[in-house]
Chains A and B, each alone.
Chain A
């Protein structure tokens, strides 16, 4: 149980285009989902926290107009990288939490984004 999927697993896009990454909780309802970014050989940096039906809370320094997060249902959150640039190339990982009392987050397998 507690499986989180991400789609796509990897994507290549051209500079200036937008790309959408999906994060799904497959066997539980996720009241909260988190989006992390990981640079090569570095740790995970939290980008934003999204709660179903409300606006995402972005970490300091994260451009909310560039990284659009939508948590439209209890099983799906999406991250859209708008007007992508090469510096947006990274590994994006989502996690999902079933509830405030769950004490755990379940991580997706990650999405490798390359912007050319």
Chain B
């Protein structure tokens, strides 16, 4: 079955650590997105990529980095510069690079600072 796989499901980060969240899709979608969700809030855009080897900052990119070396993969690194990283992170993709069909979401990664 096609879909988006995010791993790990739960991640714990110590102060000053960088951590990487994985997002892999086998839907042959061109565009991929990373969102952050805080309790009781909507989704805020971190980064997005519409083609391989290209990505753009979203509304809250500070303290995060991404890469898009393969069409199937769009990993997100939460760096030590992100001072409040505890949140639910969602990866999404869209069919044929258009927003008209909405997103397919992965199951999410819950990141906690310890």
Q: Do A and B bind each other?
A: no
Measured CB to CB, the residues of B under 8 A from A are: none
